[in-house]
Structure 1
Amino acid sequence: MKNVVFSWFLLFTTLMLAQTPKEIFSKGNELYKNGDYLKAIDSYKSIEDEGLQSDALYFNLGNCYYKLNKVAPAIYYYEKALKINPENQKVITNLSFAKRMTIDVIDTLPKTFWQKFSTAIIQKFSFNNWAIIAVVASFLVAIFFLLYYFSYSSTKKLMYFNTSLISLAVLVISLFFAIENYKQVKNNRTAIIFATKVEAKSAPSVNSDEVFELHEGTKVMVLDELDNWKQIKLSDGKTGWISADDLKEI
C-alpha cells in the first residue's frame, strides 16, 4: 500500500513540476537574451524532441547556432523554419547572413519558366496555406451559389453567379497549387553538409574517384541512397556520393 501511495505521489509531483512547451520556449528566450546560447539550445531542443515544430522554434535554434558560429546547424534550422513558413522575412534575412559563412561557391543552373513560376508563386506559400485558401474558396462558392439560387433580381443573380465562378476558379487553382507544393516538398529531399570537409565520390565506395569537394553549411539535394551512402546533386547539376553521416536532411 505504501508503494502505491508513493508511486501516486511521485506521479503527481512530476506532473506538477512539468513545464509546458510555451514555458520552456519562454525560458529558452530568456537564456538567449542573457547570452547563454548552449542552455537556450537545450531548452528549444527539448521542445523539438517532443515532436513539436514551428518556424519560430527553428528560427531561434538557428539564431543560437549562428551566435556560436556553427554554420551548418544554423543554416539547417533556418531552412527548416522556411520549410514551414516560406514567407518569414526574418528567417530569410538571417539565412542570407549565415550563408556568408560558408566556403563553397556553387553556380545555379538557369531555371525553366515552370521552375521560376513555381518558386515565385507555388512555393511562396506552404502546402497548408494553399489548402486553407482552397477551403475558404469552397465555402465562398457554396455561399454565392446559394445567393444566386435564391435571389430574385436578375442583376444580383448575374453578380452572384460571376462571383461564384471566380471563387470556383480560385478553389481549383489553390487546390492544384497545394498538391504541387506537397509533391515538391515530398519529392525534393534537401540536406545540409555537416562535415567540415567532405569528398564526393563518383560511386558509393571509398575507393571510387573524387568528383568534387564540399564544406559545412552547403545545401544539396538528395537523389538516392545505398547502404550508408547518399547520392547528392548540387545547384550547378553536379552529382556525387557522400557518406550519410556527413549530411543532415532538412
Structure 2
Amino acid sequence: MNARPECPLTAVKRVAGLFKERRIPGRPAGGRIKKILFAAMFLSVSAGLFAFGDGKFSAAAELYKNGDFGGALKTYEEILSRDGNDPYALYNAGNCLYKNGDQTGALIYYLKSFKLLPRNQNIRYNLEFTAKQTGQTLFSSDIPQVFYYVYYFFSDAELTALYTLFLWIFFLALAFFFWEKHREKAGAAILFSLLLAGLFFSWSALRKNSFCYSAGVISAREARILSGPGDNFKVSATVTRAKIVRIMDDSDENFFEAGLIGEGLKGWISKQEITKI
C-alpha cells in the first residue's frame, strides 16, 4: 500500500495571518512589506518541496503499480535523500524491497518507519509480518493487543516533546503562582502539568524496553558475536541475517556492543555487519 504525506497547510496560514490589519502606531510600512515578501518566499520554497515530494510519490506509486519495484525504490530513495525521516517514504521503500525478495532490507525500512510513526497500522502490520517470516515475534499473542496500541501510540520523539512541553508549562505556572491574582489558577496548572510531565516521562522510560529502542539489524549473512571489540577476541556465538539486536554501545570505531533481545546474550559485532536503525 502506498501512502503520501499531508500538505503543509501551516505555511499557508502563516502567510494569511500576515495580511491581517495591525494597529501599531508608528510602524514603518517597509518592515511589513519585507515580512510579507519573506513569508511569500518561504511559502514558495515549501510549496516547491511539497510539489517535489508529491510528484515523486505519484511517480513511484505508478512504477510500483506496474511492477517496476526497482524503479519505485529509486524514486523513494530520492525523496529520502531530501527528508530521511519521512515515514511514508521509508514504508513504501520497504514494500519495494520486499517485492524484490529482500526481506532484510524491507525489515530495516519498516523498523525505521515504525520508529517514526508507530501508530500507523499498515506500517505495524508489514513490520510484524516480515519479522515473523525471519523467525521473530515482536508482539506477543499472550498480551492483549490493545496494550501494544497504547504503548506504541506515540513515537519516542513525540514522548520527549510532550514531556518537555508540560515541564515548561509547569515552570511557567510556578512563576505565576507567586502572583497572588493568579495563584488559584496557577496551582491547578502546576498540578495538571506536573502529572502529565510525569506520565510522559514514565512512558518514555518504559519504552526503553521496546524492541525498536536503540535497535540494529544484522545485514550480513552471518555475524560473529565476539567477547571484545576486536577480531582477536573469542567468538561467543553467531547470529544470522535479519536478526534485530539492541545496540548498547557504539563508541568503538569498528564494533558495536549489542545484545540479542530476549536471549540474554551480548557481545561485540562488527559495524559492517549491522545496520543501525
State the TM-score, normalizing by the size of structure 2: 0.61
Moved more, 60-69 or 218-227: 218-227
5 Å-filtered alignment, 1:5-16, equals: none
Secondary structure of 1:208's match?
A: coil
Q: Is the 8 A contact 1:58 1:77 kept in 2?
A: yes
Q: Is the 8 A contact 1:127 1:178 kept in 2?
A: no
- C-alpha offsets along residues 46-77 of structure 1, whole Å, 9 cap, x if unaligned? 11112342221111011111111111111111
Give the direction of change, closer, same or farther, for the CA distance of 1:230–1:168 in structure 2 (3 Å limit). closer
Q: Which residue of 2 aligns with 1:209?
A: 234
1:176 aligns with 2:205: no
> What letter matches 1:28 in structure 2?
A
Give the direction of change, closer, same or farther, for the CA distance of 1:32–1:164 in structure 2 (3 Å limit). same
Q: Is the 8 A contact 2:228 2:234 kept in 1?
A: yes
- Displacement of 1:45: 0.6
Q: 1:63 aligns with which of 91, 95, 103?
A: 95
Q: Is the 8 A contact 1:126 1:181 kept in 2?
A: no
Structure 1: tracts of 5 or more residues without a match = 1-15, 109-117, 151-157
Q: Which residue of 2 aligns with 1:4?
A: none
1:233 aligns with 2:259: yes
Give the direction of change, closer, same or farther, for the CA distance of 1:20–1:237 in structure 2 (3 Å limit). same
5 Å-filtered alignment, 1:153-172, equals: 167-168=192-193, 171-172=196-197
Give the direction of change, closer, same or farther, for the CA distance of 1:176–1:75 in structure 2 (3 Å limit). same
**In 2: Cα distance, 1:43 partner to 1:80 partner:** 18
Q: Which residue of 2 aligns with 1:126?
A: 155
Structure 2: tracts of 5 or more residues without a match = 1-47, 141-146
1:32 aligns with 2:73: no
Residue identity over aligned pairs, in percent, reads 26
Secondary structure of 1:124's match?
A: coil
1:101 aligns with 2:133: yes
Q: Which residue of 1 aligns with 2:113?
A: 81
State the TM-score, normalizing by the size of structure 1: 0.67
Secondary structure of 1:217's match?
A: coil
> What letter matches 1:207 in structure 2?
N
Aligned alpha-carbon RMSD (Å): 3.9
Q: Is the 8 A contact 2:166 2:193 kept in 1?
A: no
